[in-house]
C-alpha cells in the first residue's frame, strides 16, 4: 500500500508538468485550430528565462549584492517575471510567424510547418547562443522531506501539484466566467462572425498566447526547480508528450488537457513500477493509442460537424 501511495504522488507530480504544458496546446488549438508545435520549446525557453532571472536576483551578475534577497523572495519575484517574459516569447512568435500567414489566408498545414520550424529555431538558437553545456538551476528554497513509513513527500512536489490545480481552476474561471473567455469560445465556434460583433480577434488571440506561454513558463520554472539541469533540447520530448496528453484528453477542452496530462503521468509511473524503465514510453504510448482507438476524439472531445 505504501508503495502504491508513493507511486501515486510521483505520478501526480509528473502529471502536473504535462498538464501545465498541455493546457497551452489546447488553448491555442481551441481558438485558432492551430497545433503550436513550438510550445514545448517555449517551455524550454521558460526554464532558461527562470534560470537567468533567478541568478540575477541572487546577485550573480554584480548588479544586486549576493545574499541581499532571501531564496523565498527570489522565488516570489522570479515566478511572475518568468511568466511575463515567456509570454513575450509566445506573443512574438504569434506576431512574426503565425499572424502573417493567417492574414494571407494560408492553409493550416503551412502554419503547422511554420510552428515546427519555430521550435527548431528556438532549440538551435539557444544552442548557438548559450552553447551545449548544461546549466544547473540554483536552489532557491530548502527542500523539506516529510516521511510517513516508506512514503516520502517533498514540499516541492506538493507545490507542483497544487500549482497545476490552481492553474486549472484559474483557466476554467477565465474561459467560462469572463467576457474575454466568452470571446475565446466564440472565436473557436465561428471566427468569421466574431469580428462582425465588434470583438477584436487579434487581441483575443494575443491574450490566448499570453496565457498559454505564461503557463508554459511557469511549468519550465517548476520543472527546473524539481530537476535542476537545463539543456537546449529539454522541451522536445516533454512537449510531444504533453501534446499527446492533450489529444488523448480531447484537444480544445481544458478539462481534457488537464486530465490527459495526469493520465499520462499515471501510466508512465505505473509502467516503471511494474516493468523495466526502458519500456516506459513504449507501453505508455501504446495505452494512449488504445484510448484514441476506442475514442478518436479524446476523452472530452466532441466530433465537429460542418453545416453546408
Using one digit for the tens of pLDDT, what is the confidence trace for 182-227?
998 888 787 778 888 888 888 999 999 999 999 999 999 999 999 9
pTM of the model: 0.92
pLDDT at 127: 94
pLDDT at 190: 77
Could you give the CA distance from residue 187 to residue 66 in angstroms, rounded to a whole number?
49
Please, are residues 114 and 101 in contact by the beta-carbon 8 Å criterion?
A: yes
pLDDT at 46: 96
Instruction: Please give the DSSP secondary-structure letter assigned to residue 197.
Output: G
pLDDT at 197: 83
pLDDT digits (tens, 9 = 90+) for 87-117: 999 999 999 999 999 888 888 889 999 999 9
The low-confidence residues of the chain, meaning pLDDT below 70, are 62, 303-308
Please, are residues 231 and 134 in contact by the beta-carbon 8 Å criterion?
A: yes
- 163: CB partners within 8 A, 6+ apart: 16, 20, 218, 222
For the record, the C-alpha cell of 96 comes out as: 512574426
Amino acid at each position: 500500500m505504501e508503495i502504491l501511495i508513493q507511486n501515486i504522488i510521483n505520478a501526480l507530480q509528473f502529471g502536473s508538468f504535462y498538464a501545465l504544458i498541455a493546457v497551452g496546446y489546447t488553448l491555442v488549438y481551441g481558438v485558432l485550430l492551430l497545433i503550436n508545435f513550438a510550445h514545448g520549446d517555449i517551455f524550454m525557453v521558460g526554464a532558461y528565462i527562470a534560470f537567468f532571472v533567478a541568478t540575477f536576483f541572487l546577485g550573480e551578475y554584480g548588479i544586486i549584492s549576493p545574499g541581499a534577497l532571501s531564496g523565498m523572495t527570489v522565488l516570489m519575484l522570479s515566478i511572475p517575471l518568468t511568466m511575463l517574459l515567456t509570454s513575450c516569447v509566445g506573443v512574438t512568435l504569434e506576431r512574426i510567424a503565425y499572424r502573417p500567414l493567417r492574414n494571407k489566408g494560408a492553409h493550416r498545414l503551412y502554419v503547422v510547418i511554420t510552428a515546427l520550424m519555430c521550435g527548431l529555431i528556438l532549440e538551435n538558437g539557444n544552442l548557438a547562443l548559450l552553447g551545449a553545456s548544461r546549466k544547473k538551476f540554483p536552489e532557491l528554497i530548502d527542500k523539506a522531506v516529510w516521511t510517513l513509513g516508506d512514503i516520502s513527500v517533498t514540499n516541492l512536489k506538493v507545490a507542483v501539484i497544487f500549482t497545476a490545480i490552481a492553474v486549472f481552476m484559474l483557466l476554467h474561471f477565465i474561459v467560462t466566467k469572463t467576457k474575454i473567455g466568452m470571446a475565446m469560445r466564440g472565436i473557436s465556434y465561428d471566427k468569421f462572425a466574431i469580428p462582425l460583433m465588434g470583438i477584436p480577434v487579434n487581441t483575443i488571440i494575443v491574450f490566448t498566447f499570453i496565457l498559454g506561454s505564461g503557463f508554459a513558463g511557469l511549468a519550465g520554472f517548476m520543472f527546473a526547480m524539481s530537476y535542476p539541469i537545463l539543456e537546449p533540447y529539454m522541451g522536445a520530448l516533454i512537449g510531444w508528450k504533453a501534446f499527446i496528453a492533450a489529444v488523448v484528453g480531447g484537444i480544445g477542452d481544458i478539462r481534457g488537457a488537464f486530465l490527459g496530462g495526469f493520465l499520462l503521468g499515471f501510466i508512465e509511473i505505473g509502467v516503471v513500477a511494474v516493468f523495466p524503465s526502458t519500456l516506459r514510453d513504449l507501453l505508455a504510448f501504446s495505452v494512449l493509442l488504445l484510448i484514441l482507438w476506442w475514442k478518436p476524439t479524446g476523452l472530452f472531445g466532441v466530433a465537429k460537424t460542418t453545416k453546408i
